[in-house]
Amino acid sequence: MYCVRNITDDLYWVGANDHRLHLFENIHPIPRGVSYNAYLLLDEKTVLVDTVDWSACRQLLENIEHLLEGRPLDYLLINHMEPDHGASVEEILIRYPKCKVISTEKSFMIMRQFGFHIDSHELIQVKEGDTYNFGKHTVTFVEAPMVHWPEAMVTLDVTNGVLFSADAFGTFGALDGKMFNDDVDFGHEWLDDARRYLTNIVGKYGPHIQLLLKKAGTVLDKIKFICPLHGPVWRSDLLWFIDKYDKWSRYEPEEEGVMIVYASMYGNTEAAAQCLASKLCEKGMTNVYVYDVSTTHVSHLIAETFRLSHLVLASVTYNLCIYPQMLDYLEHMKHLNLQNRKIALVENGSWAAKSGDLMEEFINDNLKNMTVLNERISMASSLLPDKAIEVDMLADAILDSMDSKKK
Query: What would the mean pLDDT of 275-301 be, rounded to a whole number?
Result: 98
CB-based contacts of 170: which residues, under 8 Å, 6+ apart? 194, 197, 198, 228, 229, 230, 231
Please tell me the predicted confidence (pLDDT) of residue 388. Answer: 93
> CA dihedral in degrees (7, 9, 11, 14; nearest 10)?
60
Cis peptide before 148 (omega within 30 of 0): yes
Distance CA 176, CA 159 (A): 29
Q: Are 184 and 176 in contact (CB under 8 A)?
A: no
Distance CA 88, CA 312 (A): 45
Please tell me the predicted confidence (pLDDT) of residue 217. Answer: 86
Q: Are 34 and 26 in contact (CB under 8 A)?
A: no
Q: Which domains does the chain show, CATH number per domain?
A: 5-249 (3.60.15.10), 255-399 (3.40.50.360)
Q: HSE on the CB side for 4, CA within 13 Å?
A: 23
pTM to 2 decimals? 0.95
Please tell me the predicted confidence (pLDDT) of residue 111. Answer: 98
Q: Which of 247, 253, 243, 179 is nearest to 216 (CA)?
A: 243
Average pLDDT score over the chain: 96
Please tell me the predicted confidence (pLDDT) of residue 47. Answer: 98
Distance CA 312, CA 277 (A): 10
Please tell me the predicted confidence (pLDDT) of residue 407. Answer: 52
Mapped onto helix, strand or coil, the DSSP state of residue 378 is: strand
Please tell me the predicted confidence (pLDDT) of residue 177. Answer: 97
Please tell me the predicted confidence (pLDDT) of residue 405. Answer: 59
**For 169-214, what is each residue's pLDDT tens digit?**
999 999 999 999 999 999 999 999 999 999 999 999 999 999 999 9
Q: Does 404 have pLDDT greater than 80?
A: no
Distance CA 38, CA 85 (A): 8
Query: What would the mean pLDDT of 125-147 be, rounded to a whole number?
Result: 97
Task: Select, from the ranges 208-217, 336-345, 395-404, the one with the highest average predicted confidence (pLDDT).
Answer: 336-345
**For 232-256, what is each residue's pLDDT tens digit?**
999 999 999 999 999 999 999 999 9
Please tell me the predicted confidence (pLDDT) of residue 218. Answer: 87
CB atoms within 10 A of CB 363: 21
Q: Are 3 and 59 in contact (CB under 8 A)?
A: yes
Q: At what angle do helices 206-217 and 238-249 cross, to 10 degrees?
A: 150
| CA atoms 187, 188, 192, 194: torsion sign | negative
Query: How do strand 225-227 and strand 162-164 relate by DSSP bridges?
Result: parallel
Residue 100 host element (H or E): strand 100-103
Distance CA 103, CA 116 (A): 14
Tell me the pLDDT band of 324, cut-offs 50, 70 and 90: very high
